[in-house]
Amino acid sequence: MIKSFNSWSSLTEAIAKGKDTMIDPTSGKKHKITYKVQSNTKFVMKIINDLDVIDASNKLTVTGIEAIKNYFNEEDQFTMTIGQFTPSFFTKKFIVYTILKDGELFGRTKQKIQFEIIDRNNAAGAPAHPNVTVGIQFIDDESFKALSALAPAIVTDLLNTANQAQLPDPTAADPVKPAETENAETKKEQGKKFLYTMRTNSKLYKMEFIENGSITAKTQDGSDPNGTVSYDAQNKKVMWSTVLDDADSKDSKISKSVATPLFTDSEITNVQDKTFLEKMFTDDAFRKKIIDEYEKEYASTELTPENLRTMLFYKDGKSIFGTNAPAETAVNPGEKPAGLSKDQEAAFMKGIADISKKFNPPAPVQTA
């Protein structure tokens, strides 16, 4: 669990309140939230709409419910008032919730989720809501109304509480980045490139090994998403990271990226992509074959200083680099063009190197 508290609220109407980052226990994805405990039966949270937590029908997903339970179970301020969400808790109680829109943040809809804890039995010990079975732990307000005659009054109160609830917007005060993955086997390949079409989104990528052995991936057409591919050898996972889902980044595109492949940090699960990229990290012979194919086809056409030495000529056909250029660049066999002096060549090559950087900018090293 990542903690990023600045301070607890001094607002008197809140028993407990916090800003934090909720972590999906399955995927490890981060969700910015704020929350408030209003009483021993009510609490409210605000989240930036995310299909991993709230589905298209405005209900909590199974993944979202698990993330919420895990998050609050580790909050001392919460459990001191509400208790922990354990199996025994849900044998006696269930939670009804409603979700309200609350403006926009980072280009996406903010949503308040108001919760109320309901006893399964009445004061006499009889089931108060017999159609809400023990297997139901969280239930949305509309579904609850369809199952219980007592639900309308409860839901009306729930909506009133939700509308009156005041919460600050979700922020991450001190975002914690995961440690950069290093792959010892592929560190030696730094600077080596290859092309690959990602089946995940059908885009052609120019990929390049970087210093820590990871691979930067840039689309050939210059469009999004770009990112970095790394390999978790221990868990045999191919991971994708990008700045596009980082709200603090100038390159953030989260307003356009909901449910769009590779616009968020994630595991690459497409079978073809995972198989290919895993082999690029673990199979020396396969990796060499792919890199050699790229270099044979494209390396001589890249705008590097060394390649430009063989490409630049005066109008009369003589090589700019004279005797320093390969023999086949001479106008006539055996001819030795005058060319540049050593100082002129050094200055020229520096200028060419600067120009080539503009045409071949290094791919950014991106972390989650």
Q: Mean pLDDT per segment of 10 residues, for the chain of length 368 residues?
A: 33 48 60 86 84 84 90 88 94 96 60 94 95 95 96 96 85 46 81 91 92 92 89 90 64 49 85 94 94 80 55 60 47 48 65 60 51
pLDDT at 172: 43
The count of C-alpha atoms lying within 13 angstroms of the C-alpha of 350, restricted to the half-sphere facing its C-beta, is 5
Q: Is residue 195 part of a domain?
A: yes
Same structural domain for residues 213 and 230?
yes
pLDDT at 317: 59
Domain count, the chain: 3
Same structural domain for residues 117 and 210?
no
Same structural domain for residues 192 and 321?
no
Q: What is the pTM of this model?
A: 0.46
Question: What does the block give as tokens for 216?
Answer: 């930067």
pLDDT at 75: 86
Same structural domain for residues 158 and 219?
no
Q: How many Cβ atoms are within 10 Å of 332's Cβ, its own excluded?
A: 7
pLDDT at 231: 92
Q: Examine the fold and report which residue of 133, 164, 195 is the final residue of a domain before the chain moves on.
A: 164
pLDDT at 224: 86
* C-beta separation of 183 from 212 below 8 A: yes
Q: Examine the fold and report which residue of 300, 315, 343 is the final residue of a domain before the chain moves on.
A: 300
User: CA dist 159 to 16, 201, 251, 345, Å?
Assistant: 21, 41, 37, 76
Q: Which residues of 166-287 form beta strands (DSSP E)?
A: 193-198, 203-209, 215-219, 227-232, 237-241, 266-267
pLDDT at 348: 65
Q: Which domain holds residue 193?
A: 187-300
Same structural domain for residues 211 and 157?
no
pLDDT at 313: 59
Same structural domain for residues 353 and 310?
yes
pLDDT at 332: 46
Residue type, 255: S
Q: What distance in Å separates the CA atoms of residue 26 and residue 150, rounded to the nearest whole number?
A: 35
